Structure 1
């Protein structure tokens, strides 16, 4: 079974196949390679009319040499304060970001939120995030706008007011749950209205009616949980003040 990389001999066969007028699929079949591999190889090295095995081999070697050039090590984003192991914190950050992504959050948003969430201060500047995540300032700016719109973080000025910093706090998931409740309320009202317009006994109307009924059931315990949480927080604050 051929390896992942094309050899010089493979490239000779590709050049011969092109000279015979064969398509990528047939050349790939003869080499035991996917047609997409042949297409990428030929397109990257001059196209069907200008492909040469030796030139393609030399170009591939040059690209490999460029990739082998030493790159500066990526700094760990882990926090070493409180005696923490920076690598363990880094692994935690990455696994938490993956979990958020699996829950449907965009990848960059998950990485930014996880990076903020594991810091004791819950606060980082755009420059901090660029350095820790090794991405462009534009990516951070777009992602911050998304997270702010979702109510998952807020902006504030650094002391002196010269730069912005981004903040997550202990109420992050409280706000997220409240936003979900509000969205469900909106969907309930819209579904109930749709059922009226379409007719509750019609298939389409019944579909909207069932949706409204289900979302009402979902919202009820969520609302009760929020009320219990708010009461427990009020009790805790009262104890601190007494």
Structure 2
């Protein structure tokens, strides 16, 4: 049986953990409200009610989450309002989206290595950073493929 108060507190703790990692506060709270909801489709009013904030406070957060592909906006048939839902695999989506960032960071790190010289202390640190991001970028497609296989093998789709 669902314990609403325990679920709300747990969702808030998860949101605050995301905030500690650098995620904006309201988008983190909105994301956790959507993740823990039993309903698949939520309006801004539904989310605001769960969080104790106005629907207007929710609007900026949902725009942010839509840009990250962590929420999908759909029109509510017969209404001027929209509903929001999580994509089928939100965490996969954001991880895949961040893959391009690793390549950019590797390129920028390499530019800095070239400017500093690889034999300087700063150049060596930047070369390590570059090599790390190149490694992560190369491994990410394999890791995401392993996740897809794991989901299929374990009936998580």
Distance in 1 (alpha carbons) for counterparts of 2:25 and 2:149 = 35
Partner of 1:136: 54
Distance in 1 (alpha carbons) for counterparts of 2:148 and 2:33 = 27
TM superposition score normalised by structure 1: 0.56
Residue in structure 2 matching 1:174, options 75, 92, 95: 92
Compare relative contact order (CA 8 Å, sep 6+) and give the higher one, 1 or 2: 2
**Between 211-220 and 192-201, the greater mean CA deviation after superposition:** 192-201
Task: String of CA shifts for 1:193-223, please: whole Å, max 9, x gaps.
Answer: 3323443334443332221112223344433
Partner of 2:18: 100
TM superposition score normalised by structure 2: 0.81
5+ residue gaps, structure 2, are none
Q: How do 1:16-95 residues align onto structure 2 when only pairs under 5 Å count?
A: 83-95=1-13
Task: String of CA shifts for 1:49-98, please: whole Å, max 9, x gaps.
Answer: xxxxxxxxxxxxxxxxxxxxxxxxxxxxxxxxxx4222232222222222
Distance in 2 (alpha carbons) for counterparts of 1:162 and 1:236 = 40
Looking at CA atoms only, which structure, 1 or 2, has the larger radius of gyration?
A: 1
CA contact (8 A) 2:72 2:87 kept: no
CA contact (8 A) 2:69 2:87 kept: no
Note the C-alpha offset of 1:157: 1.1
CA contact (8 A) 1:122 1:169 kept: no
Distance in 1 (alpha carbons) for counterparts of 2:21 and 2:117 = 35
Residue in structure 1 matching 2:30, options 87, 112, 119: 112
Q: How do 1:227-238 residues align onto structure 2 when only pairs under 5 Å count?
A: 227-233=145-151
Q: Does 1:211 pair with 2:129?
A: yes
Distance in 1 (alpha carbons) for counterparts of 2:25 and 2:40 = 20
The aligned length equals 156
